[in-house]
Each structure stands twice: as C-alpha cells, then as structure tokens.
A and B are shown apart, each in its own frame.
Chain A
C-alpha cells in the first residue's frame, strides 16, 4: 500500500488531482480489524471536474509510471486501485476533512471513521451495516458523531432505522 500512497501523493504534487482520500475497506482497516477486500477505493478531486474524460489524465499519469488498467481499476503492486471522483456532498466533505494516516512512513490521506460510517449508512448494503457496527465497536465512530453527520446530510431516518435494527442496548 505504500506504493499506492506514493502514487497518490505524486498525483497531487503533479497537479493531476487536487485532493484525494482512501475510503471503503482500506480506510476501514485504519479503525478496525483486517477485512478481506478486492481493491482500494480512492475519492479524488480533479482541477476540471466537468471535463468529458475526468479520469483520463490520472490513467495517463499511471500509465507513464508503468501502472496499467485492470478492469475499472489501475493495478498498483498488490492493489487494484479504483479512482472515484467525489460524487456528492458527503463524499466531497469526507475528502476535504480527511486525516493523514501512515503507511510504513508514507503519508496516506484517509477519510474519518464517522464519515466512513455515514457513507456506509447511505449505501445500506449488508456489508455496509457490518462496517458501521465494526466502527462503533472500536469506538472510532461514536454514535454522537455519526448522528451529527446523519442530520447534516439528511440521513437521520437511515441512522434511526439502523439503530432500531442493530443497536444492542
């Protein structure tokens, strides 16, 4: 993953992207136990978000570095990396307010646990609910912080529904 972190930081330094943050399972593992995952999901912001081929410059930069496409991802070492332009208000804020983690000495931007939980709530598959449960169990995402974000992003009903289904209290 350090190779992925270096590539992402180089993409920022070169101006190809203006910001990034890993999310999904890779981000989850900063806060919980290890989980099996196929790829690394990365939110990105680009200088020209309305361009026809938003990801084209990223793919070209990766190609120059010897990283080739693999399906919808770019293969970087052991990790297929999926670049996803921030696609709504929550993901934009999650990327903007991301923290900087450490991968063997290489900085890697990662979304906060409370944002990870509320994005999972918004998606709402079984594995997303499992993610919320794991984040609550470690204390990385407190109910207060999740609730605050849920209210901010109009997800309070989903949060309350989650609590009704899964809260053991």
Chain B
C-alpha cells in the first residue's frame, strides 16, 4: 500500500479513536443536530421546476 494512503488511513483511525472518548449522550445530541441540518438543507433545495419553492 502506498505510504500516503496508509498515512491517511492511520489519521482516520486516530480521529475515530479520539471521538470514541466523548460521552455517548453527547454524540447522540450531535446526531440530532446532524439530522436537523440535513433536513434544513433538503428543505432549502429548489425543486426540479427551478421555481425555488420549498420541498
């Protein structure tokens, strides 16, 4: 495996491990924020007619 790819994967694993240490309840609250953000983005997306109406 190329060194830069291995390095990237190792950094990703380090990041995962650092996130593991956060309290479960806090990560669940973050998940709710992500869900709301996704919904907000979807509702801001213009429909196929290009009229800009909210879906």
Contact = CB atoms under 8 A, between A and B. Distances in A.
Interface residues of A, number: 25
Contacts of A30: 24, 27
29 contacts: A1-B25, A1-B28, A2-B25, A29-B27, A29-B28, A29-B31, A30-B27, A31-B20, A32-B16, A32-B19, A33-B20, A34-B19, A34-B31, A35-B31, A35-B34, A36-B34, A36-B38, A38-B35, A78-B32, A101-B24, A102-B24, A102-B25, A104-B25, A137-B13, A137-B16, A138-B16, A138-B17, A138-B20, A168-B9
B15 to A, nearest CB: 8
B34 A134 contact: no
Interface string B1-19: 1000110010011011101
Contacts of B6: 168
A110 to B, nearest CB: 8
Interface in A1-21: 1-2
At the interface, is chain B mostly helix, strand, loop or mixed? helix
B30 interface: yes
A30 to B, nearest CB: 5
Interface string A13-53: 00000000000011001111111111000000000000000
A156 interface: no
Contacts of A31: 20
Contacts of A2: 25
Nearest to A31: B20
A78 B25 CA distance: 13
Contacts of B16: 32-33, 134, 137-138
Given A34-B31, A103-B24, A168-B5, 8 more contacts: A25-B31, A33-B20, A36-B31, A36-B35, A78-B32, A102-B23, A102-B24, A138-B19
